[in-house]
Structure 1
Amino acid sequence: MLEGRLQDVVDELAERIGRSVAVNDPRVHILCASRHFGDEDRVRVRAVLQRDAGSAAAGHILAQGVDRWTEPGVIPPRDDLGMRARLCAPIRWRHQLLGLLMVIDPDGSLSPASVEAVVEATGVLAPLMYGEFAARDTERMAREEALRQLLSPSATVRKAGRDALVRGGRLPSARCAGVTVARVVGDPPADRAGVVEVALRTGLERVAGDRALHTEFCLDGPRGLLLTCSDRPVPEERLRARAAVLLQQVRSVLDGSAECVAGIGETVEGGVEQAWMSYEQAAGAARAAGPQTGGDGVVRWAELGALAPLSLIPPDRLTPALLPAPLRALLARDPSGRLTETLAAYLDHAGSAPRTADALHLHRTSLYYRLQRIAELTGLDLADGDNRLTLHLGLRLRSLMRAAGQG
């Protein structure tokens, strides 16, 4: 068995250099570890006992750029995590990162001969791991592609995905289905793409471990897709709580380098064949979410109201050209944003001056002056329902643009 052969290499290296040694996969999940040599720390003990070093420790390791390393380097300590310094050597085969060989080295006292022994061990481990990991990756990629197809708006593509999942014995059988989409806000730099992928997978795997629900997941660029299937609708509070846990895990790995938000689609009946509708909604809700969303960063499609259909506009089409000319004129002449804020409050309160004044803590005379100024700058009569609808839709589109970082 592969695990036994890996363990033999790790144990032999640990005895040779007299240090605690471990092999992790590229997501910093521990695969095997030697016995302790009195140098263990809290992170290692947790990893050995729970098979998981924790998302914060994983994020710290990944933040060093280990997914791009081609030779050994030092992972600095993190006192707040109870984590000592480590020598980390990438395990690669044909340029593919298969794992990370970790050696506890709190004071940097590993001898050159010991470092050379670590490098030699990566050369032994790489061919052992390649075949097994290549097969797993091929299977995973095929399953994820089938799931992406299953969630396509095209009936033909959905059928291909369904058939592939049936052949693989992975098609969920349930009456209800719902989708959650987690996305990293903005375009991550190319050198952070690997960390983003690990962060999303860490979060998805965490919530997918709920055995009370049948869950499938996959990645789609800087987004994670979570399909939840059940025989009866899952309470909204539970879906939101799972999404919050997902984001918590992702943020912990990203360690402040990027923000992540999530959208939840409505639960649909009719089995997984109808899940694509929930996916479209979840993707729209995730696009509507942003750093300014506040709270836990989770947005449900059902909460969007009139913004819901607008959220389905592709991000690359969210440009100032969509905004009505009167609103663009107002924005250009309102650098402080005070008039725009007043207009938004007025429209959100259905054109009620008393309620708007109360919401903005304004004297009504001041409110009427601002509304008059808005009418002058836009050239629109705010008493006209069509004019109010035009401006309200424009403001909602602007909020989507800002969520997408385009306004």
Structure 2
Amino acid sequence: MTEPWRRAPIGSTALQGLVEKLAESLCRSVAVVDPSIRRICSSRHFGDADRARIHSLLHGGASSEVARHVLDQGLTRWPKPGFVAGRDDLGLLPRYAVPLRERGHLLGLLTIVAPDGSLPAEVIEAIDRATPAIVCQLYTDQVSADPETTKEQNLLRALLGSNPVTRAESRTLLLDDALLPDAPHAVVSTVQVTHSRMSPGQVATALRRSLEGLRRTRSAHGTFAVTSNRAVLLQLADRPWRPEALHEQSAHITRVLGTHLDASAAPVVGIGGQQQGLADAWTSHQQALVAARAARRMPTLNGIGSWEDLGEFAVLLQLPDHALNESLIPRPLRALLASGSGHRLEETLRCFLDQAGSIPRTSEALRIHRTSLYYRLRQIQDITGLDLDNGADRLTLHLGLRIRELLTSIGESSPDPQPQARPTAPSDVRARVEAA
């Protein structure tokens, strides 16, 4: 990927909004420029526009004399904010300048007009509070403008999409361009952040930071795509992963996100099943989405869901939100739950079904005599009207118990995030990528 801090300046609507918001709060002109003092974006002015600012607005950047004057003060090497001296002959008022860096790399400069060559402490504090979001948005904009990144992300999305033709085309391009190896084992993980009060740029940057170290590990090669609140990670390896290793990796992702996002972020990770190479990676992606839904809905998973561990919940969690409610609990089971001994009989029924109908194992697990167990099972049959020796009746009750368990978990968790629209797969992947 081309280094984002070496590309031509670009300013998004989101970045413009952050700059305008800061300017309004300060009642001062604010601008973001690149390391060559070319304008990326700027706010409206507040009666403090000088000749240098007007020139920048008209010509997209500072004049060569102003740029030389600013750069001669060593601004791009400053370790912290400071004041740039003005020059009357250049029509330049003093500026307060903040180096905007992402992990040590200078992305640009935030400048605020300061006619007196100083700023009140409360103004500097306001600038300090606004700077992290501006840095992250600037970094996100520059990464998104990189053609190599755009190409790789488009190919990954097409590879994991619903169209088998575009999946095959994207697989060929990924292999031909040596972006990914033709390894036999593939797994997809999806990361979702839904509740953060931080800016989209901060969330996207945090997602990138959490995944960048997974592009290449000792055992796998990978690639990822990031949007404003979610990411997808594809990894390929010569050997299958240990489930514990995938869980540890997901825990690492959530820890990194926790260091960069506020407490409201509540990130979740969904781990898809391991599939056969790039051709079947889309299946792992679909499974990862279900696993992430489980992680969001079931607090006992502590924010990490794995398709391989979901069992029958994997099927139930694919039901739409409006359908997943108490109406799905079978009427015989509802009658049992409403009976005077409902809790005790529910526990007995769950244990009996989990033990595959084994009387010895069930009585041992419940620590009751077999005679007592037989009595309870007869009660269950009388109340429900179902035969516990009948496979279909057992399945009805067992599925009902699982639905009840899932609904209980949902009631204790936060709402499921709104689904994100899947990008429409182009009919010609190569043309789409080259155009990007």
TM-based fold match above 0.5 = yes
1:308 to partner: Cα distance: 4.1
Structure 1 residue 276 and structure 2 residue 299: aligned? no
- Aligned pairs for 1:225-236 within 5 A: 225-236=232-243
Q: Is contact 1:323-1:397 (8 Å) kept?
A: yes
Q: Residue 149 in 1 paired to residue 158 in 2? A: yes
Q: Does 1:383 align with 2:419?
A: no
Alignment partner of 1:303 out of 309, 323, 328: 309
State the distance in 2 between where 1:190 and 1:73 align. Answer: 22
Report the alpha carbon displacement of residue 272 of structure 1 after superposing the two structures with TM: 0.9
Which residue number in structure 1 is paired with residue 188 of structure 2?
179
1:218 matched to 2:225? The reply is yes
Unaligned runs of 5+ residues in structure 1 are 35-70, 76-85, 92-96, 102-125
* One-letter amino acid matched to 1:88: R
Q: Counterparts in 2 of 1:284-295, with a 5 A limit?
A: 284-290=290-296, 292=298, 294=300
1:250 aligns with one of 250, 257, 279: 257
CA 1:322–1:364 in 2, change beyond 3 Å: closer, same or farther? same
Q: Are positions 1:262 and 2:298 aligned together?
A: no
The worse-fitting range, judged by mean Cα deviation, of 380-389 and 362-371 is 362-371
Pair 1:88-2:129 in alignment: yes
Counterpart residue type for residue 224 of structure 1: A
Inter-CA distance 32–166: structure 2 relative to 1 (3 Å threshold): same
- Residues 343, 188 of structure 1: CA spacing in aligned structure 2 closer, same or farther, 3 A cutoff? farther
Give the AA of the match of 1:244: A
Aligned with 1:88: secondary structure?
helix
Q: Aligned runs of 1:316-355 on 2, under 5 Å?
A: 317-331=323-337, 339-355=345-361
Hey, what does 2:68 align to over in structure 1? Answer: none
C-alpha offsets along residues 58-88 of structure 1, whole Å, 9 cap, x if unaligned? xxxxxxxxxxxxx97848xxxxxxxxxx823
TM-score by length of 2: 0.58
Count of matched residue pairs: 323
Q: Does 1:170 align with 2:184?
A: no
Once residues 334 and 144 of structure 1 are traced to their aligned partners in structure 2, the CA distance between those partners, rounded to angstroms, is: 58
5+ residue gaps, structure 2, are: 1-5, 8-33, 38-70, 86-95, 109-121, 417-436
Deviations 1:349-369 (A, max 9, x none): 112344334434556666556
Q: Check whether the contact 1:263–1:282 (CA below 8 A) recurs between aligned residues.
A: yes
CA separation of 1:159/1:74 partners in 2, compared to 1, >3 Å: closer, same or farther?
farther
CA distance in 2, matches of 1:223, 1:130: 13
Amino acid at match of 1:151: L
Alignment of 1:20-39 (within 5 A): 22-25=99-102, 29-32=103-106
Q: Which residue does the alignment assign to 2:135? A: 99
Larger CA Rg, structure 1 vs 2 = 2
Please state how far the C-alpha of 1:183 moved relative to its aligned partner: 3.8
1:207 and 2:217 aligned: no
Aligned-partner SS, 2:130: strand
Counterpart residue type for residue 148 of structure 1: R
Normalised to the residue count of structure 1, the TM-score between the two structures is 0.61
Quote the Cα distance in structure 1 between the aligned partners of 2:341 and 2:205. Answer: 41
1:331-350 per-residue CA deviation (whole Å, 9 max, x = no partner) reads 55689855434332221111
How much identity, in percent, do the aligned residues show?
36
Q: Secondary structure at the match of 1:239?
A: helix
Q: Distance in 1 between matches of 2:286 and 2:176?
A: 25
SS of 1:16's equivalent in the other structure is strand
More displaced 10-residue stretch of structure 1: 363-372 or 139-148: 363-372
